[in-house]
Structure 1
Amino acid sequence: MKNLKEKILELKKQKNAVILAHYYQEADIQEVADYVGDSLGLSQEAAKADADIILFAGVHFMAETAKILNPNKKVILPDLKAGCSLADSCPPDLFGAFALKHADHMVVTYVNCSAEIKAMSDIVCTSSNAVKIVESIPEEVPILFAPDKNLGKYIMEKTGRKMLLWDGSCVVHEAFSLDKLIALHKKHPDAEIIAHPESETHILKTANYIGSTAGMIDYVKKSSKAKFIIATEAGILYKMQQEVPGKTLIPAPSNEDNTCACSECAYMKMNTLQKVYDCLVSESPEIIVPETIREKALLPIERMLELSK
């Protein structure tokens, strides 16, 4: 009997499909993926995907981005309910009214938002390139940044640019407990704290390094230190540990007393290996982006990809 992973690998070949997976996906899914990465890497891979079908093992806005970049390819997502609390915190009707009130502002949006929000944007960014993109905008141009206020505050601190921030956030990155983090660091005083810029300011102030998921992996690889406390979604630990087998990685504690005592994205974990298989078999659920929205959303994504070369 072939196991599920073998069946998925066979189906991929038969259907000329490619699997793109985010670092926060469960380990089994990462193992069958053609590419595992952060939002920027996944956007770049989606843009050059040479396949008839793109199966996106991530959340809805990521699959939408792949569809925006690949209108003639079938883009499928294992679970349509795999959403994003950050994207949900920026409803298109409310954001549209807000942007209209500040029509003189250049709209910079973090990739963690819906296709409708991207369609209202001048340029999109990821946590990997947000600072670079904001710095590329002339100083006299006012900026409206959405949806993540924590990432926005971090960019403001790094660039010295004042920006108008939309009041959105990610529940996973806001779930880290400062008290528990300090207590954990006391137990491991030799550990460096590394954090994702979607975390709250008080968490970022404790960090030795702040960066995107790909940036964090790169930092741990290059660092001479042997122990790290990781303040981002715990799914990153699987790939990170593969890259640094000899180092100790400890997930930062969340406020909740959950089974892993770390921060996990329930949306990311909605995708399972079985759902990946079923999705490949049925070639559904399929992601559809209306052409009028797709065309408008494509421009700010292309501007980002051009600046990220």
Structure 2
Amino acid sequence: MPQTLTPLSSPLLDQVTDSPGGWTGLAATGEWAAEVRRLAAERNAVILAHNYEIPEIQDIADYTGDSLGLSRIAAETDAEVIVFCGVHFMAESAKILSPEKTVLIPDERAGCSLADSLTAEQLREWKAEHPDALVVSYVNTTADVKALTDVCCTSSNAVDVVASLPADREVLFGPDQFLGAHVRRETSRENMRIWAGECHVHAGISGPELARRAEANPDADLYIHPECGCANSALYLAGEGIVAPERVHMLSTGQMLDAAGSTGSGSVLVATEVGMLHQLRKAAPEIDFQPVNDRASCAYMKMITPAALLRALALGTDEVDVPADTADAARASLERMIAIGNPGSGE
């Protein structure tokens, strides 16, 4: 699409260089932070950062949180430009909810393995095989998939969304197989088909790894994201009495932050992308938060570097657009979710 923003000059821009892993050349210094804030003010831009971003990006942002919650916040601001520090589908969601605003992503190459695991073409074929089914899609999907969806869901409200649908209607749930399994388990819904997609980072947090970490930390609570490959194992450990059931918490990232404020003290093992630890430790510094898997880092999220953010603000790139017809259909699937109640904040 044609660029709609005029480039701005910046004394730091000459230091920005491209590399296979993303834009580099700038550290998150005080000079960088001041320049980012100056450029954002000149653009009348709001900076959003997902919980999985690096700490420096989270700390410079105006708002940090889950993708849907951030998009809804941005829609209510007076900002003319939204800079979404996250992956591509998140910037699309911001554009869907704020069609009149310009949306930038600091690096358009920042994709998502989960969103990529179900394409619009695949969903059309799946729907054709089950023409009477209702489609429920996790918000971690592309705009094209949302446009083909009856109702979206977040990880915090997926159970409520599916439970609200007529019991005699078949449900196609995608793309995350682990979240789908959680929903099927909680709703006991038999007429529910689940797409075999996954987030490669969450899928890599395994049951055996969780069991070892729980055994080594017998007093720790467990915060488990339902996208994780270890979700079933957490329930098994509780069912077998290996871990006290009250210590196992299946939570979205937003719910993790809420829970952190009421946990008190002690230690918590966290099963999600490691970027989440920064916000948890800020929210409850008296708690020892440790990752179940310290290698659970999303390379796509980490493409949003200090250099990428400054470049996006200075040059007005990379702009994200969603065709009006696609955006309208996708917005309808989000609005149906909100109408059900308990919209949650995002992942």
Same fold (TM over 0.5): yes
* Aligned-residue offset at 1:193: 1.5
Task: Check whether the contact 1:44–1:305 (CA below 8 A) recurs between aligned residues.
Answer: no
Task: Check whether the contact 1:197–1:204 (CA below 8 A) recurs between aligned residues.
Answer: no
SS of the residue corresponding to residue 237 of structure 1 reads helix
Determine which structure has more spread, i.e. the larger CA radius of gyration: 2
Tell me the equivalent position of 1:58: 86
Structure scoring higher RCO (CA < 8 A, sep ≥ 6) equals 2
* Aligned-residue offset at 1:219: 1.3
SS of the residue corresponding to residue 233 of structure 1 reads coil
**1:218 is the counterpart of 2:258:** yes
**1:244 is the counterpart of 2:284:** yes
Moved more, 22-31 or 184-193: 184-193
- State the AA in 2 paired with 1:95: L
* Aligned-residue offset at 1:262: 2.8
**1:85 is the counterpart of 2:113:** yes
CA distance in 2, matches of 1:85, 1:49: 30
**1:33 is the counterpart of 2:39:** no
Moved more, 186-195 or 236-245: 186-195
Quick one: which of 316, 331, 335 aligns to 1:298? 331
Question: 1:108-145 deviations in whole A, cap 9, x for unaligned?
Answer: 10011111100100111111221221222122222111
* Structure 1 residues 204 and 100, CA gap change in structure 2 (3 angstroms): farther
Tell me the equivalent position of 1:114: 142
Tell me the equivalent position of 2:151: 123
SS of the residue corresponding to residue 203 of structure 2 reads coil
Question: 1:135-182 deviations in whole A, cap 9, x for unaligned?
Answer: 221222221111111101101111222311111111011101333322
Moved more, 193-202 or 166-175: 193-202
Quick one: which of 154, 167, 171 aligns to 2:200? 171
* Structure 1 residues 287 and 93, CA gap change in structure 2 (3 angstroms): same
SS of the residue corresponding to residue 201 of structure 2 reads coil
Tell me the equivalent position of 2:17: none
Percent identity of the aligned residues?
40
SS of the residue corresponding to residue 3 of structure 1 reads helix
Tell me the equivalent position of 2:272: 232
SS of the residue corresponding to residue 141 of structure 1 reads coil
* Aligned-residue offset at 1:250: 0.7
CA distance in 2, matches of 1:237, 1:84: 20
**1:47 is the counterpart of 2:52:** no
Task: Check whether the contact 2:68–2:90 (CA below 8 A) recurs between aligned residues.
Answer: no
**1:74 is the counterpart of 2:102:** yes
CA distance in 2, matches of 1:212, 1:40: 12
CA distance in 2, matches of 1:203, 1:131: 19
Unaligned 5+ segments in structure 1 are 254-260
**1:95 is the counterpart of 2:129:** no
* Structure 1 residues 135 and 45, CA gap change in structure 2 (3 angstroms): same
Quick one: which of 292, 297, 306 aligns to 1:273? 306
SS of the residue corresponding to residue 84 of structure 2 reads strand
SS of the residue corresponding to residue 51 of structure 1 reads coil
* Aligned-residue offset at 1:225: 4.7
CA distance in 2, matches of 1:28, 1:61: 22
Moved more, 3-12 or 54-63: 3-12
Tell me the equivalent position of 1:188: 217
Moved more, 31-40 or 112-121: 31-40
- State the AA in 1 paired with 2:108: L
CA distance in 1, matches of 2:84, 2:174: 24
Tell me the equivalent position of 2:318: 285
**1:132 is the counterpart of 2:160:** yes
CA distance in 2, matches of 1:134, 1:37: 24
CA distance in 2, matches of 1:157, 1:233: 24
Task: Check whether the contact 1:40–1:128 (CA below 8 A) recurs between aligned residues.
Answer: no
- State the AA in 2 paired with 1:281: A
Tell me the equivalent position of 1:258: none
Tell me the equivalent position of 2:232: 202
RMSD of Structure 2 on Structure 1 (CA): 1.6
* Structure 1 residues 49 and 96, CA gap change in structure 2 (3 angstroms): farther
- State the AA in 1 paired with 2:304: N
Task: Check whether the contact 2:147–2:329 (CA below 8 A) recurs between aligned residues.
Answer: yes
CA distance in 1, matches of 2:209, 2:325: 47
